[in-house]
Amino acid sequence: MIATSMSLLQHVCSVPIARAMRPRSVTIISSRSLSTTTSSSSTTSRASQVDPHVLLGMSEPELQQLATDLGQQSYRGKQLHHLIYQRKVKEIQDFSQLPLVFRNDLQEAGWKVGRSPIFQTVTAADGTVKLLIRLEDNRLIETVGIPVEDEKGSMRLTACVSSQVGCPLRCSFCATGKGGFSRNLQRHEIVEQVLAVEEIFKHRVTNVVFMGMGEPMLNLKSVLEAHRCLNKDVQIGQRMITISTVGVPNTIKKLASHKLQSTLALSLHAPNQKLRETIVPSAKSYPLDAIMKDCKEYFLETSRRVSFEYALLAGVNDRVEHAKELAELLHQWGRGHHVNLIPFNPIQGSDYKRPHKKAIQAFAAVLESRKVTVSVRQTRGLDASAACGQLRNEFQKSPLVINSDSLESQPENVAVAC
């Protein structure tokens, strides 16, 4: 979750942390137990398509058309757009600027705004906040808000958003995949995470990274729809949005065809195919040469350099020899790249360890000496299990949340993050 104009990832994690240090705390936003009436199979199939009666995610022209379809003048659609994206009103009955008959018609036709309740928040000492959001089908996802204050006192707020409930790719160092996979998120379920972060911080989100739970490229349709909405409706610049992927065949080309000005972040984690397969199991179906070729073509198509994410695992992929091999790999496939080093963040049940600071510095120095642009991601939210690779919802496979008393006594058990 981390440059200036060229790499949002570096931007978030390479600058000084927020000056205002807050003590770690846990807040239960909603204490209602979640019902368990929905079966996993029926929910997955229903959630695979955008709910046709959700307002969040719709563009202004679409909302204008909706208004006219319901017998209203088109300017009522503009009012709807303002209420949803500027005022951020959550319920149709609270659209007080609209005529009562229009509100009633919307509700009778089955329309809803599409905002989910924040079930729990955890605040880390550095001000990072992890949110647990309860979806309509009672599944739980996490998003992370990362505040960074600059020297002038202005704050940049990054939302690290999820694209799936869980993740099917099971990278060996990441907690999310260990928790299993339930389903893809709909476009409004992605957009609402950004609005939820704004609600908690009472501050506008300036940057968005698709680095939360899930593999964005396995839900590319919804991710692109959410990207459009975040850019056009929520008004976050494309260059302030990063889409991360571990690599899914044929999807980088698809993404490139949209010619977005957003950053593509590829989770590389190894300089050769054999080592990468031990860290990223899905790498077997997407050879390194093929993925690097697609990244090169992405740069040529979009003129946007690719940010290569590299999780440093002590004794596994962090040696000087690995750094030299990585530099050779990148130069082999041309220009337009940046390496973002991510020191491993501990997760339960993993034998991996975080490299010593000297090893991290030596790795970065080798890349710099070979003219590879590199940054080291600053760890944020570690004490709230909200750092990179730590997002995991222990209820994501069977999203049955125990009662609020149990949650309060075991706050760590609802950790999931980016």
The set of catalytic residues is 142, 388
| Cα four-point dihedral sign 324, 330, 335, 337 | negative
Angle separating helix axes 320-332 and 288-302, nearest 10 degrees: 50
* Ordered strands of the 207-210 beta sheet: 25-28, 118-123, 129-134, 140-149, 155-160, 207-210, 241-245, 263-267, 306-312, 337-343, 374-376
Instruction: Residue 237: count other Cβ atoms within 10 Å of its Cβ.
Output: 14
The number of beta carbons lying within 10 Å of the beta carbon of residue 242 is 26
Provide the angle, in degrees to the nearest 10, between the axes of the packed helices 357-369 and 320-332: 30
- Please name the residue that has the structure tokens 């490299």: 355
Backbone φ and ψ for 186, nearest 5 degrees, come out as -80, 165
Structure tokens at 328: 């050779």
Using alpha carbons, select from 338, 408, 403 the residue that is nearest to residue 368: 338
